[in-house]
Amino acid sequence: MEITGARVLVTGASRGIGRALAAGFARGGARLALVARSAGPLEELAQELGGDAYAADLTDPDAVAGLVARVEEDGPVDVLVNNAGVSNIGYVLDQKPEEIEVLFRTNLLTPIHLCQQAIPRMLERGRGHIVNMGSVAAVVTPPGLAHYGASKAGLAHYTASLRLELKGLPIGLTLVQIGSTDTEMDDATQAYPPYEFLRRGRSVDQVRFPIEQVVDGVIEAVREGRPHVVLPRSLRALTSLVEIPRGFMRLAFRKASPRP
């Protein structure tokens, strides 16, 4: 997918990795469609980067239902980046039902719904790329992130299934799985007491991965059609183990269509 001139929809664009991704795609010559709940900061970012802002609460099914159609009133979406996410770090039994509901809607259900909306439109145009921002927490099971890890594991498995069912069609798919990164969301993670033990005297900065390298990895993956981005690279062995049974299934269907 050529970035220059492509229209890129980024969710969770007002801060953190989403904001950095938006700036990175803008530097690459992309036209931006930015989505987040906070209308004010989103509008400011859109003006700064020369993009369009679409304020939306991604935990609201009604707001999500027509989001891609709303964005495409101003032009087709070539690249969908499902970045929005929440972690709700904390002891599993302290999590309230409504908090769990919001987490799974934001991290898993909304990305699925947006894929379901965007893919038919991309297929009709004969091109498109989807980036699903996952986490290494989908593979390992760190304390305090039971629901977050489960939601990201679901997103990873859904992406693998999409890859199989869309085989041979002009849609690129990239799953991004990253460790601790310099964001506000990770600030809460690093402040959770068990992580102080895990760091074993190291500073927060020593265990975090630079957000700029995440941006570079994602944009390069879109340009080159790479299926996976795993950062830091030292974690690739962990994620590759999960991909073995998924790869076996792709191999099993190599000569057969997975579609009815």
Q: Which among 148, 158, 192, 195 is annotated as catalytic?
A: 148
Residue 186: the pLDDT is: 85
Residue with tokens 């033990």, as numbered in its chain: 197
Q: How many CA atoms lie within 13 A of 195 on its CB side?
A: 21
Residue 19: the pLDDT is: 97
Residue 195: the pLDDT is: 82
Q: For the chain, give every domain's residue range.
A: 7-252
Preceding omega of 232 cis (within 30 degrees of 0): yes
Sign of the alpha-carbon torsion through 215, 124, 111, 176:
negative
| CATH code for the part of the protein at 7-252 | 3.40.50.720
Catalytic residue flag (residue 158): no
What mean pLDDT value characterizes the chain? 93
What average pLDDT does the segment 2-20 reach? 97
Sign of the alpha-carbon torsion through 110, 228, 22, 168:
negative
Give the pairing type, strands 52-55 and 31-36. Answer: parallel
Residue 183: the pLDDT is: 84
Does residue 180 register a pLDDT over 90? no
Cα–Cα distance, 54 to 33 (Å, whole number)? 7
Q: How confident is the model at residue 238 (pLDDT cuts 50, 70, 90)?
A: confident
Higher-pLDDT residue of 179, 161: 161
How far out from the chain centre does Cα 77 lie?
16
Residue 251: the pLDDT is: 87
Residues ≥6 apart with Cβ < 8 Å to 194: 142, 143, 144
Write down the pTM of the prediction: 0.93
- Report pLDDT digits (tens) over 113-170: 999 999 999 999 999 999 999 999 999 888 999 999 999 999 999 999 999 999 999 9
